[in-house]
Chain A
Amino acid sequence: MTTAGLERRGLAELRGPLAFVEGVSGIAFHEFVDLVGSDGETRPGRVLSTTEKGAIVEVFGVTDGLQLDASRVRFHGRPMRFSVGLELLGRVFDGLGRPRDGLPPPACEERRTINGSPINPCRRAYPRDFLETGISSIDALNSIVLGQKIPIFTESGLAHDDLAMQIIRQARAPGVERFAVVFAALGLPRDTAERYLTGLQASGARGRLVAFLNLADDPAAERLITPRLALTAAEYLAFDAGYHVLVVLHDITNYGEALREISAARGEVPSRKGYPGYLYSDLASLFERAGRIAGRPGSITQIPIVTLPSGDLTHPIPDLTGYVTEGQIVLDREIARRGVYPPVAVLSSLSRLMSDGIGEGRTRDDHSDVAKQLYAAVAHVQRARGLASIIGVEELTEIERTYLRFGERFERELLAQAGDESRTIAQTLDRAWSVLRELPRAEMIRVRAPILEKYFAS
């Protein structure tokens, strides 16, 4: 029984982005519909729940100005699909996958549903190929591997756009040529989105970029579709066409808020801070679409950007994101105030897939020793700074003051780098040693003896 082509005139109720249709039956869950107002304009939508008597439709478009009786709903008899193919490369779409670059729709043959299917855990390949970003704070201390999902936790006004773009421009991996970038703007202000596009296209990434733009004033309901389109495109490029795909989803906080908005309109029981109880599963349905599949050449690496509401790491969105993703890169306002770019907070950042992606044959034999020693030393710097703020620098012991000097050099020489400066992992590790030499050799407790012998003195 298909409802393709079925049309129903008149709505029972309109509430925000939701339209209630009565007197139709057999409408499938998640079926794709068109809602046509008396203005003649067509707004796409999706069935959120359905009974024998009618359906609730989530409308992707402006519902202002719609009337109950003068509106028509057309049912498509199938879920929403998106056409995939290599023709996607170089194209810019809106949040619902319609061309935004003035060109006709790409002539792709294959249409796919946008929700994807879970990868069978038995068929995943564990990610362990180092992705060099050319950024020391990431490569040395929070190394990313192809197929990882690692968000940037940031605050308004920090340089996350620059950092994301620098990662996209500089990302490379040994032996990997087929890189593609999928960028999804989720509720971004127009100028930020344009900045991304211009920046990425100028960098020569144009021919390997697919962009989906849902802007700040686009409908919230549409925002729930945009990342799924982006990931459907990414899955095609990675697992069918063999590309290593970098997916940037910016900003997940806007996505979460859209989810809350729709949930509230449906009258659902809210969980923490009004977000729906299924926020975790919903975020997981996006982030888990990263990874690698055994026997297939490509990969999907996700870098979602999460703006922490008032800097709060414990807010439901960053909190639940952190439980799905494989680590986080945290940007810090205090470091930014000291004029350091990128302002990566080393101790609160973490890459969970780092340990298997680094070391001899992958990066360098001293990488894990250097990283462990830097963590320990930076933690010590923090304690020394805390102490200095109470009793004053003069009262500190010699070793504490040495750590303060190390902290200074660490920020200036390793953390900080120019927006167009790309360092190889060897350059990064050499810099790290140069900074570590500020400390006495006896402090190198996390470095194995042969590594210390090989690198510390030179």
Chain B
Amino acid sequence: MVETSAALEPADRAREADAPHSLVVRFGADKPLKLDAGVDLSPFQIAYQTYGTLNPERSNAVLVCHALTGDQHVASIHPVTQKPGWWETMVGAGRPIDTERYFIICANVIGGCMGSSGPASINPKTGKPWGLDFPVITVRDMVRAQAMLLDHLGIGTLFAVAGGSLGGMQVLQWAVSYPQRVFAALPIAAATRHSAQNIAFHEVGRQAVMADPDWRQGRYFAEGTNPRRGLAVARMGAHITYLSDAALHRKFGRRFQDRDNPTFSFDADFQVESYLRHQGITFVERFDANSYLYLTRAMDYFDIGADFDGVLANAFKDTPTRFCVISFTSDWLFPTSDSRAIVHALNAGRARVSFAEIATDKGHDAFLLDEPELFAIVRGFLEGAAKARGFEVTHR
């Protein structure tokens, strides 16, 4: 993990953090973001992308919530990596979340590093990057900020909110915080609380970042360093949790990388090692180490039931929102049992809920991959919801 990449320096990311290649809305001192930590974030900004057209009734808006390391570039070229959007299989013309029917919004989460206020952004009080002075944020804060974005866009009710993993947590929080503003909710590979095991994995990742001497107590921008190795190790560890034993075996087995025999050294002899190192290196190019700390922390703090005295069903009592909960058989990070707990609570709250478990060996990441059954279910659920909402349903 000592290889370095010539591609992008912290300065490139820093620019993206303040002046993103996307739409951005700035909220002034009159509109502070009230954080769960008990402080106001003000001024602050939200970077977002939109796709499709808002109808005259303003009733066809779909909010897509991104996962831990995602961003607002759902279905457009990523300005830093130049790669296609992270959910182009799901969002686009003729896709299940159809840009020809819906107005799709995706905002970078608060605490992120792609243009919404976060630790890599400039602290207006000091003129320097926030670093660890940025307040700790929660999933509820992310959703609160998104609601302010929707107010700004003049959108009262969302036709749907959809997302996987941390995105799915935001979907659930939306339904709890603003039930009247969410017609349909699609939490995918999500949970109503982060498990002890998942907090443990996150802690390992954060410790890897903070153990890197280049982290400099979070002040690496000022000191001209970048905790590349720490963040790459964090990503490597996390990446394993997004896959499955079966998927790793199918893709790599015990095969050697560009060699026929072991080198009797600590080079990346195995394909799986080489793959993980690549994942680590490419991640560091596009992501801010402090953002990684903040966003993993937000996930750790997530526990909807705790906000309702431990009775999860009360969170969804008589909710008007219709839900489609989806899990994957090989996802051991957010296993089906987590989704089933959501469904039980929704049933107890008399919600209208669909729940499908999709058979795949691709693990947690399956929600981002080519899973025809996932697409069919999302499409069918949205079409049913559109019919109930009174949209014209077009059959292809």
Do the two chains bind?
Answer: no
Residue numbers of A with Cβ under 8 A of B are none
